[in-house]
Structure 1
């Protein structure tokens, strides 16, 4: 048995059949109201059929104020429940563990979709208003309510999106979060919203519900030393089942560091993690790279680009130690991989050197 094909267990929830998870990927395929579309259902269930141990949805907004882009999946209202139930059932039938990623855009929300953008501070550039202390408490409750709704729909778990400059990550920004209440200023205060959201979801869901957390290790106003400290805290606390470090490039050196320093990945694998599993995402495209990540101490990998290119990426990795997902690929390749027209247009427009016209390389 290869390392990538070994099952992985958690403190809560089901065992994953292998150590390759589908990363959460913006795909713009659901309705303007956040209701699941047939295309998004097909895109995700096809990945479950392809052998991913965990299939995670795109970022799903937990409140209307956090709606961040057109075609985004929603989990903010009971009108989303029927579609989410259908998706959870489909993923389970295909043999994958399921996770719904919970997100609030904060100042990065879409004003065309939300009249009231909020942030940890007043932000004139984005037209966002600072949350009151009570507003932060309501946001935490919104995440917990969304997690409870995901559990009701039949998902095996959720992941808190605390990365990429969205609302929870905005609280971690030491440059700008100078709030004077318990959610700003010191690192401990800025970390508080993460700990409270984790605790609220644990209290709102059952003992077999799986909980993950996604963090960025740097940038977005996040200092590497603080990111390591927060990662150490949440792993020591043990309330989450896994920590998903989104590095953009799992093999990069820390931003701004001198050449020769240790890779960013090593600065997180060395942290004590107790029973919490550690995953990493970022440009993992080959069987060799999956092996390297696992050999260097992560418990699982999250494949994004590779999962778009190949619905059965985990099976290809296990079956061929030299397998590599490559791009660009013609549009017909993506259609055959159950990438719907809206998602394909997004990839063609926003991802350089990814989609070519058929017959053009």
Structure 2
């Protein structure tokens, strides 16, 4: 029964329904131009995933300010010159019957100094010498997230996902260890969450009524406290200003690392929250159809597919045809990856993950 549910349509509070419960994760691929314009190669890679059956196809993380850039070859959304490529992406994905979204991001202290100079952060960071944002600059970050959403809307995208996870700038503000501010954006959980909530509110107020807004959160690492992230997730879902919440767990089957919360799965701390009309999904090492279907059984409304979507552009279609489908074993051959739309730049990035790409002479999969 859960396998069949994986391929039922999913209505969102706003905009078009998803044709199934499978979203493509926002995947770093380093295939865009140096100035942040989407390349034909990246559009082709994303369009292949739409053709392969993903209900929602999301771009890689797109910085809303140039100083938030985290890596080379990253698409941007901080300038109007980026709209043209995003419009091509939105149109191509729509032609394949899928919904398009851009992930809005700012690297904060995790931005690359070689690309941006001195990075910025909630407070000074010894990690790479990031300087503290002043109050006007914090408000400008908020405005630039909103302006980026407006660019995505102008490009014809169905929506955006706000990246509040993985220790990037919104998560840095949320972190009680990273954020040492003493103004209205620091101190209490209410203050540390303020920037994220203001970004959500601003996008909702200034974009069209049917524009879809998602949010990605991660409840561990980078100073996150599970109790706080759970409280915030519950508040955001009850407010109903977002359409879906994507919990990035690194491994959907893991237990919490905080001792006080062990004894049940990390995911269960979010599936048991009241969610109103907000849809809840999860990401993390979902490599086969059975795991994806099991997450629906465990209370998720949708499933976010990352690495398995690199290995097979048509993961959804393969999973639909075969409930026992599993991704090819790794390491994977270069020829296979090229058939899946991976260019040299993306291949170099994938080689940074131990055991992912078969080296010359290794048979691979």
TM-score range normalised by the length of the shorter chain:
over 0.9
- Stretch deviating more after TM superposition (76-85 or 350-359): 350-359
Please, what is the CA RMSD of the aligned residues? 1.3
Alignment map for 1:1-361 (pairs within 5 Å): 2-257=4-259, 261-326=263-328, 327-348=330-351, 350-357=352-359, 360-361=363-364
Q: Give me the TM-score of the superposition, normalised by structure 2.
A: 0.96
Work out the CA distance in 1 between the residues paired with 2:219 and 2:226: 6
Work out the CA distance in 2 between the residues paired with 1:202 and 1:243: 15
Work out the CA distance in 2 between the residues paired with 1:74 and 1:94: 24
**Residue 90 of structure 1: CA displacement?**
0.7
Work out the CA distance in 1 between the residues paired with 2:43 and 2:255: 37
Work out the CA distance in 2 between the residues paired with 1:149 and 1:291: 35
**Contact residue 109 and residue 127 of structure 2 kept, 8 A:** no
**Contact residue 102 and residue 161 of structure 1 kept, 8 A:** yes
- 1:124-159 deviations in Å (ceiling 9; x for gaps): 331211111111111010000000000000100000
- Stretch deviating more after TM superposition (107-116 or 25-34): 107-116
**Contact residue 22 and residue 52 of structure 1 kept, 8 A:** yes
Work out the CA distance in 1 between the residues paired with 2:69 and 2:306: 22
SS in 2 for 1:147: helix
**Residue 219 of structure 1: CA displacement?**
1.5
Q: Which runs of 5+ in 1 are unaligned?
A: none
- 1:12-52 deviations in Å (ceiling 9; x for gaps): 11111100000000001101110111111111000000000
SS in 2 for 1:165: coil
Across the two proteins, how many residue pairs are aligned to each other?
Answer: 360
**Contact residue 43 and residue 340 of structure 1 kept, 8 A:** no
Work out the CA distance in 2 between the residues paired with 1:91 and 1:210: 16
**Residue 357 of structure 1: CA displacement?**
3.9
SS in 2 for 1:58: strand
- 1:34-78 deviations in Å (ceiling 9; x for gaps): 011111111100000000000000000101111111000000001
SS in 2 for 1:5: coil
**Residue 260 of structure 1: CA displacement?**
6.4
Work out the CA distance in 2 between the residues paired with 1:244 and 1:353: 27
Work out the CA distance in 2 between the residues paired with 1:179 and 1:309: 42
**Residue 258 of structure 1: CA displacement?**
7.7
SS in 2 for 1:218: coil
**Residue 253 of structure 1: CA displacement?**
0.4
**Contact residue 145 and residue 204 of structure 1 kept, 8 A:** no
**Contact residue 232 and residue 272 of structure 1 kept, 8 A:** yes
Work out the CA distance in 2 between the residues paired with 1:42 and 1:345: 18
